Amino acid sequence: MKTKREECEQRLTGMQATRKPFEADWDEIGRLCLPTRSDVLTMAANGVVRQQNRKRRANTTTYSSKGRRAARILTAGMTSGLSSPSRPWFKLRTSDPALAEYQPVKEWLAHVEALIYQFLGSTNFYNATKVGYSELGCFGTEAATMLEHPHYGAVTHTLTAGEYWLANDDGLIADTLYRQVHMTVHQVVESFVSKSGWGVVSKAVKNAYDKGNYETVVPVMHAMEPNRHKNPTRSDNRNMDYRSVWWEVGQSDKSILLRDSGFPEKPFWAPRWIETGGESVYGDGPGYDALPDLRELQLAAKRRGRNVDMLNRPPMAVPVGMANSYLSLDPGSLAYGSATDIGAIKPLVNVDYRAVQVVREEVEAHGADVMECFYADLFFAISEMDGVQPRNVEELVLRNEERLTQLGPVVERVNVEKLEVAIDRAFAICLRLGLLPPAPQELQGQPLTVDFISTLAQAQKAARLGDIQRSAQFVGFLAGIFPEVIDKFDADQAVDDFATGAGTPPSIIRSDEVVAKIRADRQQAQAQAQAAAMAQPARDAAQAAELLSRTNVGGQNVLEGVFQ
């Protein structure tokens, strides 16, 4: 019978074969756009680290920074547009619209949202998410894990292309992630030996620790996948929804694991910019689109530098007789030789200065194409917006409608495959830590949903908000001619729908119950005022009659004289 490690390694072999065709493109894109993160592909072969200590690869083959700058612009734009740490980007909802109008439910959801924002802000989530967007844009796929931590609450580990492998479920969503972790001897001892003893590590690790070689790199594998063999009658770590298996690659005894544990919910996310089609788990993205232009850009930039050098310091033809003479072409230098020899010195190649301009224009053209592939203009427009007010969102939509339409599937995929998973994970961790207040009785057992209100999500919804505005304006126009048309328009529901779409805080939108009470009180006050206004003439008439009855004229009061 196979051990758990043997089962995992057998599956890893298939996952390695699936990933192999993407690695060459990843390596090239990484070299041109993310040289500081893509060195993993040169350090691992089939999941086994060959070098004892990781060394950063020197990037000596690029001649233009345009690719790196384009990747940074996309990263900043995605961060600002989808999950900015400085503005709200999600709200919790209930699936029951009637329950969503209940004020205690509204207040509880708003309070929980604030606690989740606070929890995420206290961890490295936002920094890791920003790095993840660069991976997503350049390589078409991003992967990250959120692991619970006794001190920080949670730590998000952003993985780079080349250090993880993915597999899809039957819904074509990644539900399995294997990753290689480059841990030091000190980290292995702190993470595993301190809890399970020295028996879980190889002799090589123990010997390195005994000799004080704490920074020696140890290749470790971590598998996270649905626990298909869990026992539903047990609730220990090995019978959770996701299993977590750690093993040391250098451990010869395959029955020994560093840790065999699990997660109660999905602990990672792996969104794709766009699916490549079929059953492929890895995606396509702007980095692939820009790859031909990135190649041409580096070649043109190299030519530009060469032409400038040829123009400033061209190769020279020098008489043979001066072979042993020192000849400097630096400004202010002295050249010794006969007049004949000196006069014979001339450039071998006469470079037209206009050639430099032509190559410069070629570099600029390729650079512009790279920026366009990475949506630089659109993301600049997003980053320069002052908040997420509906007016600004509408302006963004009007100016960039076509490009926003192209980003629509990406926004939806990131919301579902990444951010929703992160929120679910953070919610569950906060719940286990006792950070969340008890839910109202009406909300017990009710499922919650996530509504995304980021700038890019709002831009996708702006068309619907515009429909509400245009309908209200049209009804208002008709009401000036046909007042009865007002009966056709549900203004209260329009306010609720618009506020929901615009991400308005629920604390400033009154519930239907509160509005009904305000209107009932107003009607009662108006009725009382009207009754008081009608009673005043009656009181005046009674007082006048009493006055006439007391007035004596000719032996009788005036009131009797009136009715005679």
Residue 94 has pLDDT above 60, yes or no: yes
| Max CA distance (Å), the chain | 158
The region, left, alpha or beta by phi > 0 then psi within -120 to 50, assigned to residue 278 is: left
| 93 vs 332 pLDDT, higher one | 93
CB atoms within 10 A of CB 381: 19
Helix, strand and coil percent figures for the chain, each rounded to 5? 55, 15, 30
Give residue-wise pLDDT tens across range 470-480: 788 888 888 88
The string of pLDDT tens digits covering residues 446-467 is 889 998 988 788 777 765 666 7
Question: 3-state class of 114 per DSSP?
Answer: helix
Rounded mean pLDDT of the chain?
83
Q: Which amino acid belongs to residue 6?
A: E
Distance in angstroms (rounded) separating the CA atoms of residues 371 and 374: 5
Which two tokens mark 107? 């207040």
Q: What's the Cα-to-Cα distance from 305 to each of 121, 177, 350, 465, 500, rounded to whole Å?
A: 45, 44, 16, 52, 55
How far apart CA 369 and CA 376 sit, in angstroms, is: 10
pLDDT in tens, 350-390: 777 787 788 888 888 888 999 999 988 877 766 555 554 54
What does the pLDDT look like over 119-172, one tens digit per residue?
999 999 999 999 999 999 999 999 999 999 988 999 999 999 999 999 999 888
12: how many CB neighbours lie within 10 A of its CB?
Answer: 19
The residue ranges of every structural domain in the chain are 512-562
Rounded to whole angstroms, the Cα distance separating 451 from 398 reads 23
Which residues, 6+ apart, have CB-to-CB distance to 476 below 8 Å?
A: none
